[in-house]
Amino acid sequence: MSSTDKRKVTADDIENLLEIFKQSGWDEMHLQTGELEIFLSNDPAAQGPRAAAAPAAAPVAASTPVAVAAGTPAAPIVISAAGPSGHAPIPAGQVAIKAPNLGTFYRSPKPGAEPYVEVGQQIETTTEVCLIEVMKLFTPVQGGVKGIVREIRARDGQMVEFDEVLIVVEPN
């Protein structure tokens, strides 16, 4: 049995799915394709498609391109990537800003400068929230979501892996 018809899911695909979901009147939608698994729910307490069976699989929010979450601030969108999470769960109704690749996480534009964001701060989708450095190449990460910063999970100057939760935001 092959799965040669598998193709990669793009951010546009996800946005289309969100649109379909919003217009459908459905309570929940669970889609699994290849390595990507998407769980959409109107229930703010929703914990993902198999929360009861696998409490360790934390529902984590949209990763890069983080803009995926942007169009739908009201809906608690849970994109649960299969695989070991190792992270503390993201509280219901909040979303994670995740690392676009492995690199060193910096909270400030340069040493000694003010951090990009603090807990409690309102951010817009285009707000720069941190830097990820790879071999002296510093790439700003945008929030991708409008909301209030609730947690800063990554530690300044520490290596973060791809998809690791950096900052937790409560959309508004």
Partner 1 sequence: MPIRRVLSINRGEIAARVVKAAHALGIEAVQAVSQADRESRAAQLADRVVVIGPPPSRQSYLDAQLLVHTALQTGCDALHPGYGFLSEREHLARLCAEHGITFIGPAAETIAALGDKLQAKAIAEAAGVPLVPGTAQLAQAEDAVAAAESLGYPVLIKASAGGGGRGMFIARNREDVQAGFDKASNEAREAFGDGTMYMERYVENARHVEVQVFGDGTGKVIHFGERDCSIQRRYQKVFEEAPCAAMPDALRAQLHRSAVDLVASLKYRNAGTVEFLYDMDRQAIYFIEVNARIQVEHPASEQVTGHDLVRLQFEIAGGEPLRWIQDQIPVRRHAIEVRLNAEDPYRQFQPSPGRITRWSPPQGAGIRLDSHCYERYLVPPYYDSMVGKLIITAHDRESCVLRLQEALARFEVEGLTTNLPLLRFIASHPDFVANQLNTRWLEQVLLPAFEATRE
Phi, psi of 61 (to 5 degrees): -85, 180
Query: Of 20 and 50, which has the nearer Cβ to partner 1?
Result: 50
In the region spanning residues 107 to 126, those forming contacts with partner 1, defined by CB under 8 A, are none
- The binding track of 59-88 with respect to partner 1, each residue x by CB under 8 A or -, is ----------------------x-xx----
CB atoms within 10 A of CB 74: 10
Q: To the nearest whole angstrom, how small is the minimum distance from the Cβ of residue 159 to partner 1?
A: 4
Q: Does 101 bind partner 1 (CB under 8 A)?
A: yes
Under 8 Å between Cβ of 27 and 45: no
**Entry field: residues in the chain:** 172
Q: Does 162 bind partner 1 (CB under 8 A)?
A: yes
Query: Cα separation of 140 and 137, whole Å?
Result: 10
Residue 49 sits at the vertex; the CA angle it makes with 44 and 54, to the nearest 5 degrees, is 110
Which of 66, 79, 106, 163 lies at the binding interface for partner 1 (CB under 8 A)? Answer: 163
CA atoms within 13 A of residue 82's CA, in its CB half-sphere: 7
Which of 128, 134, 139, 172 lies at the binding interface for partner 1 (CB under 8 A)? Answer: 134
Under 8 Å between Cβ of 17 and 28: no
Q: Does 1 bind partner 1 (CB under 8 A)?
A: yes
Q: Does 159 bind partner 1 (CB under 8 A)?
A: yes
Query: Cα separation of 8 and 111, whole Å?
Result: 39
In the region spanning residues 23 to 52, those forming contacts with partner 1, defined by CB under 8 A, are 34-35
Q: Which positions touch partner 1 (CB under 8 A)?
A: 1-4, 6, 34-35, 81, 83-84, 101-104, 133-135, 137, 159, 161-164
